[in-house]
């Protein structure tokens, strides 16, 4: 059993080092940035790591399907040493949020290579009286 687990781990490590992550797009020269999403009582907080990016080179959009898309141009091309002859020039990632979002009050802040987007939730329904 231990031998099998070691063999699976070794195979996984080899494949991970040979093939790029599935979210990255070599043809479009696009990387998928690290991100984190947190649900709070009244809002969603989405964070993206965007190193080597200037604030003016970031684009954030929101679609009617509750999808937030972040695109950013790198200041200089990034070369992954694991991938031969490949330079990445952009970050791009889309995240779909469950539930309704108040798109007029979405706020985005960028500081020290970290983009933080706050998306307030819309609460709907009827108040139920308690007897």
Q: How many domains does the chain have?
A: 1
Tell me if 38 is assigned to some domain. yes
Tell me if 11 is assigned to some domain. no
User: What are the start-end ranges of the E strands in the chain?
Assistant: 30-31, 35-39, 43-49, 53-62, 67-79, 87-96, 107-111, 114-120
DSSP 101: B
Give CA–CA dist 76/78, Å, rounded. 6
pTM for this one?
0.73
CATH of the domain at 76: 2.60.40.790
Tell me if 17 is assigned to some domain. no
Range of the domain at 102: 23-120
pLDDT of residue 23: 57
Tell me if 131 is assigned to some domain. no
Tell me if 129 is assigned to some domain. no
Tell me if 126 is assigned to some domain. no
pLDDT digits (tens, 9 = 90+) for 59-111: 999 988 889 999 999 999 888 777 666 788 999 999 999 888 888 999 999 99
Tell me if 92 is assigned to some domain. yes
Give CA–CA dist 46/34, Å, rounded. 11
Tell me if 130 is assigned to some domain. no
pLDDT digits (tens, 9 = 90+) for 7-64: 444 444 544 444 444 456 777 788 999 999 999 999 999 999 999 999 999 999 998 8
């Amino acid at each position: 059993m231990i031998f099998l687990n070691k063999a699976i781990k070794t195979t996984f490590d080899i494949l991970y080092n040979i093939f790029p992550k599935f979210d990255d797009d070599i043809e479009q020269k696009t990387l998928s940035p690290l991100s984190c999403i947190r649900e709070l009582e009244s809002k969603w907080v989405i964070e993206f790591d965007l190193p080597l990016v200037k604030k003016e080179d970031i684009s954030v959009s929101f679609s009617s399907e509750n999808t937030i898309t972040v695109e950013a141009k790198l200041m200089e091309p990034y070369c992954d040493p694991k991938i031969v002859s490949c330079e990445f020039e952009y970050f791009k990632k889309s995240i779909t949020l469950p539930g309704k979002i108040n798109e007029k009050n979405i706020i985005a802040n960028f500081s020290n290579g970290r983009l933080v987007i706050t998306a307030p939730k819309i609460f709907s329904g009827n108040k139920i009286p308690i007897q």
